[in-house]
Structure 1
Amino acid sequence: MTDQALDLGGPDRADAVRSGRGDRFFGRQRELKSLHADIEHAGLDTLAGRKAARARVLLIAGRPGSGRTALAEELARQLADRYPDGVLRVRLAEPGGRPVPLEEAARHLLGDLGIASPPGAGDDELTEMVRDALSVRRALLLVDEAHDAEHVDLLLPHNPDCLVVAVSDGPLTGIPGVRPCTVGGMDAKAAIELLTAFTGEVRITVDPQAAEAVAEECGGLPAALVLVGGWLAARPRASVADAAKRLRALPDDGEQPRGGRPLARAFRLVYESLPQPAARILRLLALAPAGFADAHTASALAGCSVAAARTTLDGLATLGLLRTAGDGFEVPGCLTPLLRTLYEVSDRPAEVQLARARMLERTVRRLQACRAITEPEGSPARKKLAGLPRALRFTSVGEADAWLRAHRSALLACARLAVDDGELDTLARRLVAALVRALAAHQGTEAAASDLYGLHRLVLDVAERRGLRREQAAALLNLADLDARTGRTEDALARYRAALDAGRAANDPYATGRAMESVGGAYQELGDWQRAADWYGRALAQRQARGEQADAARLYGRLGTAHTYAGRYGEALRSWRAAAAGYRRLGDVPAQARALSEAARIQEYAGRPEESLHTCREAVEWARRAGDVRLQAALQLRLADTLDRLGDPAAARLHRLTAERLLGTEASTYEIRSGPEED
């Protein structure tokens, strides 16, 4: 398409229109009064002389476009002073009705509460954490798009000092004690005030009957009035009567429910006035993940320049078709179904799929640039970054980090949508991989573990669907590692075994060896030393068959550890000596010294102090050659302990003095244990 953009007089005019209505709230005084009265109204528990067991729930129910969320926000603003722990907000559905995973909603609330959520935790665990956190707080919880009563119920705090304000299409059956407030159209006075915020007072004053007619044609719905107001604001010479006349001339959409027809007519009035390029951008914004779009998203969807997309988005927002959200815009949920209907009629499926592909490709490139900026100057990633168009690049790590944090929810939603789509799996895999790398680079794997867990599950979904065994094994290993790190060892073990099967099916020796070693580690964590040693032995045999000497030496050490815990000191000693020999062949002096120190420890456990003394002295010499001062000091202390047991306190004192000279007063903080009972 061309770069023709929707321009309504430039940013100054757009800002003037927005500041005219600002964040003002119009009307709804009757509803607000009713909601305040419901808060003060005694519940059944209070009337029965019991303290309420849970937070009170107020329900604001109404059709999309009725201003139900704005009413909830105004109520929260008025009540904020009563709740010193703040107002928490969570949305249970994206614009357009797609449910937000309960896990994601709970993690969002925990993040706002400053509580880290464990990666891989299920809905029950996360919602329980939310309830526990709110049980000791006095907070107001605003739950928007509460499409599922069960999900709302799972988030309700067991604390009568909290208040929950839920916004929904209809009743939340199943939640006892809900206080409903049904929102319909605004009264005529408030509707005209809202319209005046766009048009100015003059056009309303000269024809008040036309203003009343517009309010009636819009059914008093704030979303419809905003659209008509934006249409009038973009046409300073048009009268309010013109708008009323045009609205009457538009036929009702028979496929729309009666209550939604005024909004559909107001939308059609504005949409049909748009230039074709702007109308196409608006239609395709229904594809934006989580309803959030910035200039890059719009540019990619429509295939136009970023500058043209930015100008068009500003114009659409001025018309009331978009809402400002951070550094981008949000498609109102009440308009998303209308936009979807339009692109299904106006755009061929192949064009829509191409728009999706362009959006995913642009997101991948932005994520690659976001990660590349963290690399050192002159690195291959930075050189590749320099080759990207200027609009895609970030000028600093701070800018990239701020972008990643601000767009996190939309990026995760984009990944979920790409995987669920099922027709663009190659792009979906690239997107997830780029997002994983960007999160790890900016936040670190520990801080981003919860997001990474969800992304690895998406990779697993695609790999299983496409029969990609190698990627399936990799995803299972990553998920199992996160399970093991958070103490879910049984879950980790099951996934490691599944990764082993996938690795074997893919004939992937790395995944197979890694999985066998990890299975051994899981059994070791569970205290099953026999199985741990067995799996370490299998992994060791594979490494030896492939000539991977470094990994073989490391596995000898893990095998020695398992035998030690099992009390099989002879086998443990052989394993550690084999590890030391392997490191010697590799020329890894520090690792050789550590392996010998472990061998000395095993000899001491086995009741062979003279042999331990000899091996420990050998280890000291290798540690000296490696320049490992701390290991030298630790071994000197072990020598001292052994000499004490052998009845030579004078020599023991000399070794302790040597350790003190090596590390000063810090020597006592680095201790090698001298008995199996201390393990």
Structure 2
Amino acid sequence: MGPLELSHGGEALDLGGTRQRVVLAMLALNANRVVPIEQLIDAVWDTSPPTTARAQIQICISALRRVVGNTGGTMAIHTRAPGYLLEVADTDLDTAQFAGLVASARAHVNADRLSEAVATLRSALGLWRGPALGGLHSERLRREAAQLADARLSAIMERIRLDLALGRHDEVIGELTALVDEHPLRERLYEFLMLALYRSGRQAEALELCRRARATLVEELGIELGQSVRRLETAILNRDPELDIPSAPVNHGVSHGPSSTAPAEPSVVPRRLPATIADFTGRQAQLDEIKRALSDDEETGSRYGTRIVAVSGKGGVGKSTLALRAAHELRDVYPDGHLYGDLGSPDGEDRVRPVLTRFLRALGVEGSALPDDVEERIDLYRSRTAGKKVLVVLDGASSEEQILPLLPGGPGCAVIATSRAPLSGLPGAHLQDVGVFDVDRSLELLAKIIGPTRLAAEQDAAAELVTLCGGLPLAIRIAGARLASRPHWRLDVLVARLRNSVRRLDELSYRGLVLRSNIGLSYQSLSPVARSLFRRFALITTPDFPAWTAAPLLDIDPFDAYEVVESLVEAQLLDTVQYPGEHLRYRFHDLIRVYATEQLREEPEEDRAGAVTRLLGAWLARAEHAHRKEYGGDYTTLHGTAARWERAAELEEIDEIGDQIEWLESERRSLVSAVHLAADYGMAEACWDLALSSVTLFEVKSYFDDWRETAERALATTEAAGNRRGRAAMLYSLGTMYLFHTRPVDAERCLSAALEIFEEEGDDHGYALVLRNAATADRMRNRAAEMRAKYEAALERMRRVGDLVGEAHILQSLAKVSIDEGDADRARGLLDTALERFQRVGYLRGEAQALNRFAELHLMTNEVEQAHTALNRVLLIVRDIGDRIGEAHALCRLGVVRQRTGRLDNAETTLQHALSIAEQVGQRVVAGMAHHSLGTIALARGHLAAGANHVDAAYALFTELDSTIWRAKSLILRSDIHQARGEEQLAARDLEQAITLLGKVHSVEATRLREELERTYGSAIFR
């Protein structure tokens, strides 16, 4: 407990930067529970997150997973919608250990084992190493840390209370003095210290401390000392013998007089009333009557019995609203507290026991002191309310039997109970019947909802509307809410719809609340197709979803499905949510989602499976369509045989894809969920096809966590189903992802297995795609001959299957080989062909990649201006399509161009930007190249310390990536820096290492570097 630390085997692990530490702290504070990504963003950036916040959180999670992986498998970070979950055993979490020890101490106290309790609390407090989460500056974590600090202080105070009970007053005086100085507004600490001083024969000091406490509270808070402290002061003045140490110490936290081992707990005054509404309307006469019945005037209430008002009326008439308004206006009449209990239960559950338990806890009864027997709880409740003036609101009672056990015990108490049926069986109750509104009161309520100006413009329509609502306040609120949510509607539009008595309840469908009974009433009022959609929306596990998904779920026309979705919104069974720049989306309230899931289980299995098949078919068709728009056709991907929903093309009419990457990004969580849904239903073909189609987004936007999650789930599903082609496709996908992470060994493992399966299945396209990437893995591992052979073989197959984009990718990769070999003419020819292929199909990202490679060629041939022009075009493209990886590459190369032309300031700024983006999207090669160039600039300026930092970072990255040429380049640059510092031996050592590395590589680039070294140092350095 204290500053954040993750250790393994007694060694503290490096958690990285502040952001990663904040993220890990949030996950640890909510261990084994899902932490929404929005909360992680709030914790890291408070109220001003950058636009890249989500991507940066994902980067932090990836980094933390590597750190957590070093703990020997004792914990793990999982992706769980809508965020992440840290799986960790309680024994590995010090907060859980602390809570467990405190609970054990409480058990010792209950068993009169005070010494054991003190020892256990000391062990718990010994876990603390300093301020909770010290060094992490985050408003959300500050609040969490405050709660931990409060728990620590509570444990300290309990331990001191027990020490006093054991007669250890001399031992705690010093500690208490420090605690009072640290927490000058904690009256309980003053009480403990006063008692300890008095028992130590220091009566005058104890009384002086009391005067100091009084002065502090008056000055800081403007309040007088509590009764408990004042009682203790009086007892000290009188040298009350009950303050002496009792022979049999009291072991409970609540004192009963000055003879207790610790001062009495302050009186508990519960304030549990829900808020009252601001637009309370039309019930003033009933409100005044209730207030008169429950006032403190002896003429209007019983002197000896609990005052009771029983409010009854039909559902939706406003009984609860009236009862709560009356309770709030009677707050001052009942100063000892206000309790609220909801007795309504749609499934017949007995609510008396849980409400009674909540009441007792509100009245200060700790969990360990709660009797198991309900009759004993009732007796304790009556005892706690005896002699007090407490107001109790019991809402939604079904009978008098529910009310009787919850009547408080004091004659000064009062109860307001609501029920649809009159509670005439309650002895002495004042019965208050609530009827519907007349027209004037109805119009008054409607005006408060939609505004008086709008109502005045259509007075006749408004009068007819409230008449059609039958004067029922809930119905008027529903109608008003619909109008308020649709300001473009005239009132007579809704009136016309309400005139149809058959559809009236469908129109008045905003009755859904969070409790099952009310949800059920709304659900039953829906049309059968709406009920079906309500159930089937529970198949979608993302926090929100688009309206078009209703069409495949119901297998109906998209426009008709949209109207069904709107009917659920009108019933308040669905909420709407609008994200900036995105289409309107829909979501369940959490409790409503539970109800929908329950109803889904009642639907026949074949109907559910059919809905899932159509939904996945629609997602497949839409993702496939987005890929075609991005790539210009079905290039560089594979598809399975899972059925597409036959009416998917019609979805464009209500939800046009537009920019395909933006559309895919808006549906990212839904696509991930769809992959899991397909896996859950054993639909392997749809599962792998969706996972591979989603790579179009994951690759461009660097959503590597999603990429891994979906590919691994689909791989497991295809393996279980014996789907060999799907398994090969997922191995290919994972291998490609490993290439992006510059992990060629892992990539080769996946790609080799995929190659074997595709060859056995006779899938030329799949084989060509995998072979292309296998060649890239060879290039990363400096295996030139194998790389060239695979590229040539893959190119032949790509042309055979007609994959123009795949062909162009290989051509530009071969162009890179030619550039490295110094063959500019061959490279130019290959790039011309690749660029023509990309432009022919309209694949902008590919065009940017080819132009970027052209810029490299121009730099090799000293055509600096042409390189600059090409890179400017690249930046326009990648920024327009949101390709962050492409932007990192382009900026890095542009920085080199600006460095080459002597514009060092511009070059440094550009390279720093490239480095930042590369680190965000996990492009370690680009990050290393940027560090290398920044080191070169720093050396040119004479900033040797900064240059050394950059070159060390570059060398570390290229060593990790096993890039021999770039390691050698970094060593040569570091040698130059040592030389500039006069560190001749270090310079010679780095140069010798660089020469050794270059001797292991047979390439044009290695030869060029050796020649440069020979020109600089002479041929003797190679001996």
- TM-score under structure 2 normalisation? 0.34
Q: Which has the higher contact order (CA 8 A, sep 6+)?
A: 1
- TM-score under structure 1 normalisation? 0.48
Give the greater-gyration-radius structure (CA).
2
